[in-house]
A = this chain, B = another copy of it.
């Protein structure tokens, strides 16, 4: 009878968090086919607890994906608030770098036909809006080729994830950055 009704009990939130983190790790390591029972076991809760927080497996996919996307949106917001003309490249680099671990999840989700643009349209739109803003700024500053659209930039980020992922799990941070750099170079003005 106290506290805001919208807030979970302390133990409930702790469990929800634990399940979410465990799911994120396992999806990345083993793919989306890991069983909820296994996730529950590793999170140290019963299968029923998983179900209370995420009534169906899709809800868990959605939560994991949303969580990842939210972090990117936050980063984008921070950058959009500044006035660095190179912010677009910074954001893209961050997205790619941060995606080192999460690319597996993203790839797994994509393979399961789980599209963030459908599942969390608001967040995806937010991200696209920020990228669009930064892209416009970059166009104005002449730091990016004029024929690159927002959608293409987003697609290239997905491509960079895949490239890094393909290069192998043992790929160093430096090598990942190099790959990302090549793709970002492709975005620069073509005047050569």
Contacts and interface: CB of A to CB of B under 8 A. Distances in A.
Interface of A: 30-33, 104, 107-108, 110-113, 145, 147-148, 151-152, 154-156, 158-167, 175, 178-179, 182-192
A92 B191 CA distance: 22
Contact of A156 (B31, B33, B111, B163): B163
A32 B108 CA distance: 11
Nearest to A161: B162
Contacts of A33: 33, 112
Given A111-B108, A113-B30, A182-B187, A163 B159 contact: yes
Main secondary structure of the interface of A (DSSP, over half): helix
A155 B147 contact: no
Contacts of A31: 111-113
Top 5 A-B residue pairs of the complex, sorted by shortest distance between their CB atoms: A159-B163, A186-B186, A162-B162, A158-B166, A111-B111
A163 B167 contact: no
A190 B186 CA distance: 10
B113 A110 contact: no
Given A152-B175, A155-B167, A158-B165, 12 more contacts: A33-B112, A104-B111, A110-B165, A110-B166, A147-B178, A155-B164, A158-B163, A159-B161, A159-B166, A185-B186, A185-B190, A192-B192
